Structure 1
Amino acid sequence: MTDKPRTQTREITAAVVRKKGGPFQVETLILEEPRPGEVLIRIVATGMCHTDMVARDQLYTVPMPVVLGHEGAGVVEQVGSNVKKIAPGDHVVLTYMWCGHCKPCLNGDLTYCANFYPLNFGGAREDGSTATHDKQGAVRDHFFGQSSFGTYALAHERNVVRVPSNAPLELLGPLGCGIQTGAGAVMNGLKVRPGSSFAAFGGGAVGLSAVMAARVAGATTIIAADVVPSRLALAKELGATHTVNSRETDPVEAVRKITGGGADFSLESSGRPAVLRQAIDALAIKGVCGIVGAPALGTEASFDVNGVMTTGKRIIGIIEGDSVPDLFIPSLVELYQQGRFPFDKLVKFYSLDQINQAAEDSEKGVTIKPIVRFGS
């Protein structure tokens, strides 16, 4: 009698969340080898995003125990038999996951995949399987198709993006979500045009990425509104022509005064309904407000219906910067290498055993974009 072939596995070290609110627990887990369409990546560093805390705190329902992390960057270790675009040794950034077969995906609208929520927040592959386990059984994974708060991650060929080997890999992970969300919202979603005015409501990683992108896009009036003075100072350094401390000044009145009637474009990245109302009210006639902040599921917001209707304002939702990652992420890397998109100024590095400190510093506003490093 022939023994059944065994699935090859490897030991990894990863941060596991086992209950609502955390903490992240560093544990030894077992990870399966890649399936035919999958890629095994040795993770070099992973950015920490607001959405990791949203999942940890169950503002979005994610099965537990789970390995989070969705801004991974690393080196390809192994590829499945069907993988074509990536090879072992490639430097890669991991991004969001999409199915590739629903109507929005077939139409090229990858960020609006009909299966986006289960693929990115379901804690498993599309077929419901997981690849990670401990001594007690399965640990949920495939968070944003990657679960990259670990020394190794499994991703699909679709959500792995090759980047130049001469770029600083440990810095690039946040391009997979937070940075591409802010920059893409400006460049792809809002389509901010040269000579226009833009107001970012929220000065975190997404809002400041939007400020940098607005400068690249040619906006001539760029306003950053936040309540943290250090963030506002950094916004000026990154390209904002004006800043508004919303704790001291009415941001709607300030934006209207600066622009002479209202901003052509605004972006709300705080996830607060009251701030969204400000971002809408601060628009000029026929202005456009983009929403990228992620509040708890079911959160509702209000606005003046006639104030929107009679001025032709538009309010649009934007996911992951409306980006096609294989095209957009390399373009952000090139802009960074040219000195035109200095997102490294947002970053502070942490070791894996400091991951809870990284989360705390992010939530307190001490660090704008934490990146957790996994060694050389």
Structure 2
Amino acid sequence: MVSAQALVLPELHAPFQVLEVELDNLRPDEVLVEMKATSICATDPAVQRGKIPQTFPVVLGHEGAGIVKEVGSAVSNLTKGDHLVLSYDSCGKCRHCQKKNNFRCLEIMKRNFGGQREDGSHTIIKEGKPVSSCFFGQSSFCNPAIVQANSCVKVDSSLDLAVICSLGCGIQTGAGSIFNVVKPVEKDVRSLGVFGLGAVGCAAVMAAHILSKDNPTVLSHVIAVDVNESRLKLAKELGATHTINPANEDVRARLMQLTEQEGLDAAVDCTGVLSVINSMIDFIGSGGIAVTIGNPGNESKASVPILPFIIGAKTYCASHQGNADPKSFIPHLASLYKQGRLPIDRLQKTYKAEDINEAIADMKNGSVIKPVLLWS
């Protein structure tokens, strides 16, 4: 067995602990990855708070990046030394995966949140006892890490893994909601509202800005909504044309003014706050689309006014992982970053891996959007 350093969450609401663990033997469809960086996504502290159920102790982490150390016997598309960004896991076999709609994989829950391999075994062991792992097929709060091959995305080795690690979930989710779900060019979207300016919301703003520059007839109004003034200022710098602070303005009145009383053509909620989701749904106009990304809780139900949606031929939908195939979408995003068009580094602050609790505290108080843990 291989020894590893892991950031272990021992129980609900507890701080993470830095522990020495052992890795199980590599399976044919797995990859041993030397981690270089793992960014923290809101999903990680959500498990810590109990918003997403897991069995404890658990090793989380699902925005990892590193270098291949060893590949399993059934892995043919990767080799030692390849640079990887790690994303979500999928079976690769069901009808959705066969069409590269892996975000709809029929096994998505158990492969990403099941806490174990498909056969019930665990990749991480502590003092002879299994530790919940395989989080998003990677549990990248561990170095090195055993990663499911379907979670591995090969990337340009010239790119800084400490930056592009964030493409694995949050940035993919936000950018993908615009590129793959809202589809502003195809649907002639003139006005877009982005609610919540964490990493996901900022990525949505950046994606909208890219599309508006390439297609000047769409997205004349990219409207960012948040209660944090520093985030609103950043959104303007990232490409938002207008900003709204609900603490100071009537959001509905301002949106109607900006859209000449038509309502939004598209809206994306990145807050996961049910009241914001329901307001977003009300803000879209005729033919508009409202997209939910953030999860307000497993039992939550959105409220959709049926008759206005029928009359206006409106759409309410959800987006998972930006409805993206990570094998192709993450390299595309990495290319945009390399071109200077997707400045995700502006969202990041780096920490030593062992300072994870400080990083999460900074994320929680809003002083940092995207903490990145660096592995020595």
What is the CA-CA distance between 1:304 and the residue it aligns to?
Answer: 2.4
Q: Where does residue 272 of structure 2 map in the other structure?
A: 271
Instruction: Return structure 1 stretches of 4+ with deviation > 4 angstroms.
Output: none
State the match for 2:26 in structure 1: 34
Measure, in 1, the Cα distance between the counterparts of 2:50 and 2:228. Answer: 26
Question: Residue 81 of structure 1 aligns to which amino acid in structure 2?
Answer: S
In structure 1, give the amino acid aligned to 2:209.
Answer: R
Contact kept, 8 Å, 1:45 with 1:373, in 2: the verdict is: yes
Identify the residue that residue 314 of structure 1 maps to in structure 2.
Answer: 315
Residue 100 (structure 2) pairs with residue 104 (structure 1): no
Pairing of 1:1-376 with structure 2 (within 5 A): 9-193=1-185, 196-218=190-212, 219-260=219-260, 261-375=262-376
Task: Give the residue type in structure 1 aligned to 2:275.
Answer: A
Q: State the AA in 1 paired with 2:196.
A: G
Contact kept? 1:33, 1:40, Cα under 8 Å: no
Mapped partners of 1:136, 1:363: distance in 2? 34
In terms of mean alpha carbon deviation, does 29-38 or 86-95 score higher?
29-38
For 1:209, the aligned partner's letter is: A
Contact 1:130 1:141 in 2 (8 A): yes
Looking at structure 1, the residues matched to 168 and 27 of structure 2 have their Cα atoms a distance apart, in angstroms, of 22
How many angstroms does 1:40 deviate by?
0.6
Rounded to whole Å, the distance in 2 between the matches of 1:67 and 1:329 is 24
Query: Normalising by the residue count of structure 2, what TM-score does the alignment of the two structures yield?
Result: 0.95
Q: What is the letter of the counterpart of residue 205 of structure 2?
A: V
CA contact (8 A) 2:195 2:224 kept: yes
Any idea what SS the aligned residue of 2:257 has? helix
Q: Aligned letter for 1:277?
A: N
Contact 1:150 1:374 in 2 (8 A): no
Tell which deviates more after alignment, 290-299 or 313-322.
290-299
Give the C-alpha shift of residue 252 in structure 1. Answer: 2.3
SS in 1 for 2:301: coil
Distance 1:90 1:131 in 2: 21
Structure-2 separation of matches of 1:152 and 1:192: 41
Does the CA-based 8 Å contact 1:85-1:157 persist in structure 2? Answer: no
Q: CA deviation at 1:253?
A: 2.1
Of all paired residues, the percent bearing the same amino acid is: 40
Supply the distance in 1 between the matched residues of 2:13 and 2:306 (Cα, whole angstroms). 37
Conserved? CA contact 2:189–2:266, under 8 Å:
no
Cα deviations by residue, 1:216-264 (Å, 9 ceiling, x for unpaired) = 1222210100000000000000000000001111222222211222221
Counterpart Cα distance in 2 of 1:250 and 1:125: 49
Q: Which amino acid aligns with 2:158?
A: N
How far is 1:107 from its partner? 3.4
Say which SS state the counterpart of residue 208 (structure 1) adopts: helix
Which stretch has the larger CA shift, 281-290 or 190-199?
Answer: 190-199
Q: Deviations over 1:34-75 (max 9, x none)?
A: 211111100000010011112222212111111000000001
Segments of 5+ residues of structure 1 without an aligned counterpart are: 1-8
- The 2-side partners of 1:265 and 1:126 are apart by 38
In structure 1, what is the Cα distance between the partners aligned to 2:253 and 2:133?
Answer: 46
Secondary structure in structure 2 of the residue aligned to 1:293? coil
CA 1:223–1:298 in 2, change beyond 3 Å: closer, same or farther?
Answer: same
Q: Give the C-alpha shift of residue 114 in structure 1.
A: 1.2
Say whether the 8 Å CA contact 1:350–1:372 is kept in structure 2. yes
Per-residue Cα deviation, 1:85-135 (whole angstroms, up to 9, x for no partner) = 111101100000011222322333210111111110111111111011111
2:157 and 2:3 mapped to 1: Cα distance? 27
CA deviation profile, 1:164-206 (whole Å, cap 9, x unmatched): 0111111111100000000001001221226622110111100
Q: Which amino acid aligns with 1:231?
A: R
Instruction: Give, in whole Å, the separation in 2 of the partners of 1:311 and 1:25.
Output: 52
TM-score normalised by structure 1 residue count: 0.95
SS in 2 for 1:84: coil
Deviation by residue 1:299-325 (Cα, 9 ceiling, x = unmatched): 122232223222111011100001111
State the distance in 2 between where 1:366 and 1:354 align: 16
* Residue 6 (structure 1) aligns with: none
Once the two structures are overlaid, the 10-residue window that deviates more, 295-304 or 325-334, is 295-304
Distance 1:356 1:318 in 2: 29
1:51–1:294 Cα contact (<8 Å) kept: no
1:224·1:240 contact (CA, 8 Å) conserved in 2? yes
